Amino acid sequence: MRLLFCFLLLWLCIGEPCWAQDLSGTWEGRIDAEYMNLVLIKQGSTYIGYTYDEGMGFCKTNFLGNFNDSTRLLKGAGQSFIARTANHVMCTYKLTFSVQSDGKYLIGSANAKSALTQILSMGMAVRTVLRQVSSRADTTDYMFSWLVKHNSQNNTVEQNRKADTFNTAIAVPAPSLTHDELAKKAFNDSITAVKILRVPDTLSTIITAADSIVISIADNEVVDGDTVTVFHNNAILVSRLFVSAHPYRVVVPLDRNVPVHEFVLVANNLGTIPPNTALLTIEAGKDRFQLKAASDLKKNAVIIFKHK
């Protein structure tokens, strides 16, 4: 009897934490063939957050769901749009938590939320695979309002708070931006957060005396729908560029008062043939360089220029 009691006590002490999971953080992966980002904060068995996906356009929505520790199933749905382009809809999600050799995953399906879009899509579920890339989570106004209402730790939440366009109970000044400007800002905020979370892969460091450079970007393999966003010293230089067989050219001044110029290519998606690839042709004065860049959902391609 004493042995049984000790066994039960041991099971209660070490068995329970094995099942109790905190999914709070940032998750990245794919919904069908499109890039998806899911941010979660735990409040009891409920998770509040937002989703962001990008393929043909983009969509950012507020998210609310529940996690069952025994089945390890996260069920949730989009609650309202923050920003989107046409032809994007809110979804419901059923995602199962698992731990694999390379990290923690949420894997399952997504369905259109409204009855009409379910009919139009013939009720077909879309496979969704997300990997946790960080335990950090930023917040929207909708999330902040919900967490305050449900007695979350207000100080922690407020430090990470980011504004969105959803009208919550908290008094938010009317946005002075147009719909297109708000949509652009929502994308820029999301892709900047994605850039920070991924690992930089430096392709080359180039020493130059040139006052400006010309960068040409083209697909160096099969054109498969790759899109990239290019940063210059943490500012977006080119947003959501479709990488085609025809080179896209951009002229960039190199300010001599800035000793280092860093260019980062962030994959918006993986196209139909991963990874996201591009051929970069760089003209710096009389010098000409060709570099093959490959980026994915874990790393960014980086090129660094330094003045002589």
Closest by CA position to 80, among listed 167, 210, 19, 151 = 167
Question: CATH 2.40.128.120 residue ranges in the chain?
Answer: 18-194
pLDDT at position 168 is: 35
Q: What is the pLDDT of residue 254?
A: 92
Mind listing the pLDDT tens digit for each residue in 102-120?
Answer: 899 999 999 888 765 554 4
Residue 6: the pLDDT is: 45
SS3 state of residue 16 = helix
Determine contact, residues 276/269, Cβ cutoff 8 Å.
yes
CA distances for 61 relative to 145, 162, 234, angstroms? 15, 14, 25
Domain with CATH 2.60.40 in the chain: 198-307
Q: Is the pLDDT of residue 244 over 80?
A: yes
* β 299-307/199-208 pair status: parallel
Confidence of residue 169 (pLDDT cuts 50, 70, 90): very low
Nearest alpha-carbon partner for 281 in 249, 233, 241: 249
Alpha-carbon distances of 270 from 28, 218, 228, 266, rounded to whole Å: 12, 15, 9, 11
Number of Cα atoms under 13 Å in the Cβ half of residue 275 = 16
| Arithmetic mean of pLDDT, 46-66 | 87
Q: What is the DSSP letter of 123?
A: T
307, 208 Cβ separation under 8 angstroms: yes
| CA–CA dist 161, 157 (Å, integer) | 6
Q: Is the preceding omega at residue 274 within 30 degrees of 0, hence cis?
A: no
Contact 195, 228 (CB under 8 A): no
Q: Which of 6-20, 90-104, 248-262 has the lowest mean pLDDT?
A: 6-20
Residue 247 per-residue DSSP state: P
Cross-strand pairs, 110: 93, 126
Task: For residue 153, count CB atoms less than 10 angstroms from its CB and return exposed for 0-12, middle for 13-18, buried for 19 or more.
Answer: exposed
The CATH number of 18-194 is: 2.40.128.120
Architecture category of domain 198-307 in CATH = Sandwich (2.60)
29 Cβ contact partners less than 8 Å away, ≥ 6 residues apart: 35, 36, 105, 106, 128, 129, 130, 131, 297
Residue 214, pLDDT above cutoff 50: yes
The radius of gyration of the chain from alpha carbons, rounded to an integer in Å, stands at 22
Take residue 17 and report the two structure tokens written for it: 């934490």
Is 75 exposed, middle or buried (CB count within 10 Å of its CB: 0-12, 13-18, 19+)?
Answer: middle
Beta strands in 165-211 (DSSP E): 199-208
**SS3 sequence, 77-96?**
EEEEEEEECCCCCCEEEEEE
What percent of the chain lies above the pLDDT cut of 90?
Answer: 35
Check the CA dihedral 143-147-149-154 and report its sign.
negative
d(CA 64, CA 174): 25
Residue whose pair of structure tokens reads 């995953």 in the numeric block: 105
The confidence band for 190, taking pLDDT boundaries of 50, 70 and 90, is confident
Read off the pLDDT band of 213 (50, 70, 90).
Answer: very high
